[in-house]
Amino acid sequence: MDFDVIVLGAGIVGVSSALHLQDRGRRVALVDRRAPGEETSFGNAGLIERSSIVPYAFPRKFATLLRYARNESTDLYWDYRALPSYVTWLARFWWESSPQRLAAAARDMLPLISQSVAEHDALIARADVASLVHAHGWVQAFRTHAALERGTATAELAAHEHGLNFTPLDAAALRAREPGLGEGFVGALHWHDPKSVSNPGALTKGYARLFEREGGTLFTGDATTVREERDGWSVETSSGRIAAREVVVALGPWSDAVFAPLGYRIPLRVKRGYHMHYRPTHTMLSQPIVDTEQGYVIAPMDGDRLRLTTGVEIARRDAPPTGIQLARVERIAKPLFGLGERVDAAPWLGMRPCTPDMRPVIGPAPRHRGLWFAFGHNHHGLTLGPVTGRLLAEMMTGAAPFTDPRPYRPARFD
C-alpha cells in the first residue's frame, strides 16, 4: 500500500480527519479535485458555533409554514422543480423535527458541539492561524419584542442546562456596541462562547499546510475513481493511482458520488446558500450579527469586507444560481448594516450537506471493509470539522472514543 489511509475531500472535515489520523501514526493521503477549503468550507458565515445546541429543525408553526408556502420569505426560497426529489427527505425531516425527536437530536449533538471550540483551538495553535480567529462571540439580533422575549427565554434555558454565556442587549446597548448599525433591531443577545473566523477558506488552508508540514501528502484527484481492491482501496490522482488499506469519504454535499454507487442509500441532500461581500459605508462590525427573523448573517471578513450569508435555498444541487434570495436579503440588510458596493463579481453559491435526522454521518460503512464516512454536518461543518476528525480517528485506530459514536453511525440508515 502507498498509504495507510486515503481521505477523499479537502474541506474542513476532510483536512481535520487527515490531521487527526496522521497524529495517530497513520500515513495519510488527502485527495480533492480542488485546493483545500475551496468548496463549502470557503463560503460560510465563519462561526465556530459553540452555542447552537439545538439543530436547525423543520418549522412546526402554521404561520411559518404558510409564509414559506408563499415562497416570498428571505430565510427560505424553494425551486418548485426540485420538490419531487426532496419530498421524501422533507417528510423525514418534518418527522424528525417533532419536539421529542428534536430534543433527542440536541442531546446527541451536544458532545460534538461542546468540544468544538477546544478542538479548533488546538489546531489553530499548531497551524499558526490565530490571526484569523476572534473570540468576540456573535450577536443574535431581533426585530420585535415578542421574538426577543422568546429568544431570551431559550437562551436562559441553554445557559442553565449547558453552561453557555450570553448578555442581553437592549437597542441602545446594541447600538453602543456596534455604532455602525442602523435602526431596526429592538434588542439582541450577545453569545460569548462561540468564536468567529474572518476567512474560513484560509483557516482550512492553514490546517492543510500543517498536514503537509507534518508529513502528509496532498493530491489532486477525482474521488469518483475510487475502487475497492483485494486488500484495500485505490483512487486516480494527477500523480497516478494511489492505494491504501482504508479510505474516508469526506466529500460533504458530493459524498453520494462515492457512497451511492457502492449501494448505500443515505438520505443526504443539500441546502444551498449564497454569500456576497460589500464595502462598509458605516463603522465596521466587530463581530457577526444574525438577523434572527429574516434569517441571514452579516460577518466582518478580512480585507475590510462585510460578508452577507443567506438562509436556505431548496434547489437541485446542479441547478444554476438564482440570485433571488440574495436580492431579497440585500434590500433589507443594506440600510441596516451600511452595505456599500459589491466586492465580488458574482454571488458565491455553496452547498450545505444535510441529513433529515440532523446528525452527521461518522463511522464505518456497514458493508465494506476499510470504508469510512464523515459527512452530513448540516449547517455546522466549520464548527464540527476538527471534533469530527478526532472522533473518526479514534474509531479508526482502535482508541477509546471521547464520546459514544452510535448516534452518528452510517448503519442507522440501512
Residue 98 and residue 104: Cα distance in Å, rounded? 10
Q: Where do the DSSP E strands lie in 9-128?
A: 28-32, 47-48, 76-78
CA torsion sign, 333 to 198 to 15 to 34?
Answer: positive
pLDDT at 241: 97
pLDDT at 335: 94
Residue 31 and residue 175: Cα distance in Å, rounded? 46
pLDDT at 414: 79
Residue 76 and residue 405: Cα distance in Å, rounded? 32
The number of CA neighbours under 13 Å toward the Cβ of 125 is: 5
Residue 368 and residue 388: Cα distance in Å, rounded? 21
* Helix or strand run (H / E) with residue 214: none
Residue 333 and residue 342: Cα distance in Å, rounded? 13
Please name the residue ranges forming H helices in 314-366.
324-337
Q: Specify the pairing of strand 3-8 against strand 166-170.
A: unpaired
pTM over 0.85: yes
Tens digits of residue pLDDT in 353-395: 999 999 999 999 999 999 999 999 999 999 999 999 999 999 9
Write down all domains in the chain, each with its CATH number in brackets: 1-56+97-131+195-268+355-414 (3.50.50.60), 57-84+132-194+269-352 (3.30.9.10)
End-to-end CA distance of the chain: 30
Grid cell locating 290: 444574525
- Which residues in the chain come in under a pLDDT of 70? none
Residue 411 and residue 414: Cα distance in Å, rounded? 5
Tens digits of residue pLDDT in 18-44: 999 999 999 999 999 999 999 999 999
DSSP secondary structure letters along 225-241: G-EEETTEEEEEETTEE
Q: How much of the chain exceeds pLDDT 70, in percent?
A: 100
